[in-house]
Amino acid sequence: MIFVDGLPFSGPTSSQAQGSDKDLVIALLQHPTLVSSSNAIKSLPERKVLFSQEYDGVERSTHRKLVYVFQREYATVDPELVELVGTDEATTCVGVVIRNRKTGMTSVSHIDSPNVVDQGLNQMLSLLVDENSNDELEVHLVGGFEDTSPENNAISSEEHSGHSFPLCSMLLHALKNRRERFHIQTLFVLGHNTGSDSDRYSYPIMHGFVVETCTGTISPANFDRTSRCPDEIVRRIRVTVSSGDPTWNRKLLETYDTKNDRFQIAACSWTSRWKYIAFSLQQLSDSEILLRCSTSPFVEGPDFVDNERRILHLCGVSVGPLPGLRRDSVVFYWSPIFQGFILSKSHQFRTHQLLNAIISPVPFTIVYL
């Protein structure tokens, strides 16, 4: 159930407006309160979140505990343990924030497909509300833009051919049809999150955000490679290969253990075909990688291709199971001292060795202490 301004939102009232996928979306985007909140968040300066021991006026994640969420991941955090939670690098994806007003518990996800919406919301809500609870939940939706041609760029157009609109529509309809009480605070998506250049081509205004868990305040944010942690490259690879793992079909990837306050990167299976896919993609030019690997190749960040090439390089590493790992389950612990993964004091692995272990038949879990 959706609420705006504390009142239930019933959707379009015109009899001719009922039944169309776009009507609920348009009605919410045009709601005066949500228009006002979109204008407010658009006027805020973007926060730069870096990881450093120094402080020069830029937000430093070493001074305030941060949980970062990658594409297709989610994390639910306790405000008594985590101060900041956020995500970025969104173009056609949508960042979702759901916060329990009573407890302050906050869940953030970076959703990239309509296929993961229903189960993804179940995952996010599992630690936010009890089964029979009537808790009030604040919701922020940020991301997605009018990724259509210049001739079909109006929010009221009859057809929506891009990636963003189906995802936004699925999210809003899923919230409306659930029994929980969702108070939409921010709907900075589609037309609200769209700028255009001199040739009338669209681009997203806002790519990411950070949430202050104690207050629920949301701000535009940009994270650098050091703050997209821990172990950014392994998590990027997991996003890529999870598409072939039936365990994660229609689900968000689990990243953070809420109850124990630690990063725990859930297992994802790997097949040898990824080595050959990676080799094939590595032969492409930068522009071809953009076209093949992105849903919005003309508005990606400057490091998109570099990140893809890093993923492809490690996916193409010769593989084979690590000797001696023949147990039913293996837990890798991230060592900040060695900057590598460890099984014990006598076993240490670098990133490429960890990937070899992932490819082996041995189930694994990554735990960050």
Instruction: Quick: pLDDT tens for 126-143.
Output: 999 987 788 999 999 999
- Taking phi over 0 as left and psi of -120 to 50 as alpha, with beta for the rest, 216 belongs to left
Q: Which of 43, 61, 18, 82 is nearest to 186 (CA)?
A: 43
92, 111, 181, 184, 354 from 176: Cα distances, Å: 22, 18, 9, 11, 42
Residue with tokens 């039913």: 328
Is the separation of the CB atoms in 105 and 127 below 8 Å?
yes
Give the pLDDT score at 326.
32
What's CA 321's distance to the chain center, in Å?
31
For the segment 311-339, the average pLDDT, to the nearest whole number, is: 49
For the segment 172-197, the average pLDDT, to the nearest whole number, is: 96
pLDDT band for position 231 (cuts 50, 70, 90): confident
For the segment 213-242, the average pLDDT, to the nearest whole number, is: 90
Give the pLDDT score at 160.
54
For the segment 119-130, the average pLDDT, to the nearest whole number, is: 96
Whether 359 shows a pLDDT value over 70: the answer reads: no
pLDDT band for position 20 (cuts 50, 70, 90): low
Give the pLDDT score at 361.
38
Least confident of 95-109, 152-166, 209-223, 251-265: 152-166
> Cα–Cα distance between 142 and 108 in angstroms, integer?
11
Give the pLDDT score at 339.
43
- The SS3 assignment for 171 reads helix
Whether 334 shows a pLDDT value over 50: the answer reads: no
The CATH number of 2-228 is which of 3.40.50.300, 3.40.630.40, 3.40.30.10, 3.30.1330.200? 3.30.1330.200
Whether 257 shows a pLDDT value over 60: the answer reads: yes
Residues in CB range of 16: below 8 A, 6 or more apart: none
For the segment 73-97, the average pLDDT, to the nearest whole number, is: 96
Least confident of 29-43, 115-129, 224-238, 354-368: 354-368
Least confident of 19-28, 39-48, 164-173, 275-284: 19-28
> Cα–Cα distance between 358 and 353 in angstroms, integer?
9
Return the DSSP state at 322.
P
Whether 52 shows a pLDDT value over 50: the answer reads: yes
Count H helices, E strands: the chain? 9, 22
pLDDT band for position 180 (cuts 50, 70, 90): very high
Q: What residues pair up with 364 in beta bridges, in sequence order? A: 330
Whether 369 shows a pLDDT value over 50: the answer reads: no
For the segment 321-342, the average pLDDT, to the nearest whole number, is: 41
> Cα–Cα distance between 116 and 132 in angstroms, integer?
24
Question: Which one is predicted more confidently, 154 or 355?
Answer: 355
> Cα–Cα distance between 308 and 47 in angstroms, integer?
25
Give the pLDDT score at 31.
97
Whether 323 shows a pLDDT value over 50: the answer reads: no
Q: Domain limits of the chain?
A: 2-228, 230-270+317-369
Whether 335 shows a pLDDT value over 60: the answer reads: no
Whether 73 shows a pLDDT value over 80: the answer reads: yes
Return the DSSP state at 191.
G
- Per-residue pLDDT reduced to its tens digit, 299-321: 999 999 999 998 888 777 644 33
- The reported pTM is 0.83
Give the helix ranges, DSSP H, for the chain.
21-29, 32-42, 117-125, 164-177, 232-241, 273-282, 286-293, 304-315, 351-359
Residue type, position 347, single letter = H
Is the separation of the CB atoms in 327 and 368 below 8 Å?
no
Give the pLDDT score at 53.
43
- The SS3 assignment for 102 reads coil
Please state, rounded to an integer, the average pLDDT across all residues of the chain.
81
